[in-house]
Structure 1
Amino acid sequence: MHKDWITIADTLSAGMKPLRGGIGDTMQAFSALAAAATKGGALDAKTKELLAVAISIAARCDGCIAFHTKAALRLGVTREELMETVGIALYMGGGPSLIYGTQCLEAYDQWVAEQSAGSAAE
């Protein structure tokens, strides 16, 4: 394991709390933008989340990979669908996307393991 994607997401979430207090209107507007952009329409929410994953990889954003991979899993994305999304990101982003695509797959596997552990504990 190269990175702990769950900790990355948790750390960033905690780091965003002061922003919510300091620039609440801006953060609310960003949340509204996210909700509007990801709402199902001509493209369903799952497809839109896979687009966000591909852009996260091509943009080389660790936090984006952590958040969007988790969201994709919640929407029912399979490992095979994620792999094809990594392929598109690689096509669009070249060699650096190969590295971040590998990390995205690692993040997905960590979220699946956490989800499985949570189900086993219930």
Structure 2
Amino acid sequence: MSKQNKEYYKETMQLMEELGQAIPQTMATYNRLHRVATEDGALSFKVKELMALGIAITVRCDGCIAYHVQQSLSAGATYEEIVETIGVAIMMGG
């Protein structure tokens, strides 16, 4: 992960922590939705994180991109899988 991406990731995690303190019930519900939506099912956690990364790219959310790159890597995604995800996102989002 690039230095810039690491900074976005750190800022995103800090913001999520601050939101958790400001609106705890909302963030607890959001976090539960995230856990349930990304758990293994017909699609693996890794595939779902790659999908989320592609969506983050198309909506141009820097913090989301940083988060989902990190989550994809943590789930075992390879450089090649991430690059192909970026390619599909570019195709779909311009």
Structure-1-length-normalised TM-score: 0.71
C-alpha contact 2:11 2:63 (8 A) present in aligned 1:
no
Partners of 1:3 and 1:92 lie apart in 2 by 27
Matching of residue 51 in structure 1 with residue 51 in structure 2: yes
Partners of 2:3 and 2:59 lie apart in 1 by 17
Residue aligning to 2:36: 36
Q: Which moved further from structure 2: 16-25 or 52-61?
A: 16-25
Tell me by how many angstroms 1:15 deviates: 2.4
* Equivalent AA in structure 2 for residue 30 of structure 1: Y
Taking every aligned residue pair, what percent have the same amino acid on both sides? 42
Per-residue CA shift, 1:1-57, capped at 9, x if unaligned? Answer: x96111111122222323212210000000000001000101111110110010011
* SS class of match (2:21): helix
Partners of 1:18 and 1:86 lie apart in 2 by 29
Partners of 1:10 and 1:44 lie apart in 2 by 25
- Which structure 1 residue ranges, 4+ long, deviate > 6 Å from structure 2? none
**Unmatched runs of 5 consecutive residues or more in structure 1:** 95-122
Aligned ranges 1:1-122 → 2 under 5 Å: 4-94=4-94
* SS class of match (2:26): helix
Structure-2-length-normalised TM-score: 0.91
* Equivalent AA in structure 1 for residue 44 of structure 2: D
Partners of 2:16 and 2:25 lie apart in 1 by 13
Give RMSD over aligned pairs. 1.4
Tell me by how many angstroms 1:89 deviates: 0.5
